[in-house]
Amino acid sequence: MSLKILLVDDEKDIVEFLRYNLEREGFEVICAYNGQIALDKLVEKPDLIMLDVMMPRMDGFEVCRRIREKPEFRSTPIVFLTARSSEVDEIKALNDLGANDYIIKPVTQNRLIARVRANLRTAGVDPEGGREGPVNIKTGPLEIDRGKYVVLIDGIEISFPKKEFELLYFLANNPNTVHKRETLLANIWGSEVYVGDRTVDVHIRKIREKLEEYADLIETIKGVGYRFRDG
């Protein structure tokens, strides 16, 4: 079954162009031309939502806020695709509203598809068709519920901010593999978010602090990156 993308933009020519290119890649595209229609289309349970910001009646920020209020869509990737290049808008979308990515128009087809696939992978979805495995990960003392953004260590819930959670989930969902820092940056922060390799190191350090006696579940591979040790 094809993965579903809800595409929300009031400019119909842009919607048709994007729909054509996404369908060529094997995605099923659900189109909405304003925010209210987008909210109504959630009954079709999209795997990823792509939003414009500037729309009449209800802008993309408000649509994103309302979507994130629904428990069943708290972990669904939301990607903004907009001509608004303000850093303030980008920070609002990513930090305040819980969006996963912020892409500024114009964008090439190849880059857009790459970002869509990266966001799906981060959410635990295989872009080639379907869930990679159970949403919940259980390994040793660690339990991760991707749907609820909950981490349990020895049965005790530990609070992880969004990026720390996504980084831990990505590593645990792809265990026993060395991940380069640039790979982690691309999958967790997106290729156009300007943060350096040090950002990954800082987040890994904070995750290890929370793992306490189990900090060695995440191994440092000198000069390369990090690996989650499973078994």
Joined together, the tokens standing for residue 146 give 């991707």
Domains of the chain: 4-130 (3.40.50.2300), 136-228 (1.10.10.10)
Q: What's the gap between Cα 156 and its chain centre?
A: 25
The answer to whether residue 131 scores a pLDDT higher than 60 is no
In residues, how long is the chain? 231
pTM of the model: 0.61
Confidence of residue 79 (pLDDT cuts 50, 70, 90): very high
pLDDT digits (tens, 9 = 90+) for 34-75: 999 999 999 999 999 999 999 988 999 999 999 999 988 988
- Tell me the Ramachandran region of residue 212: left when phi exceeds 0, alpha when psi lies from -120 to 50, beta otherwise: left
Question: What's the one-letter identity of residue 138?
Answer: K
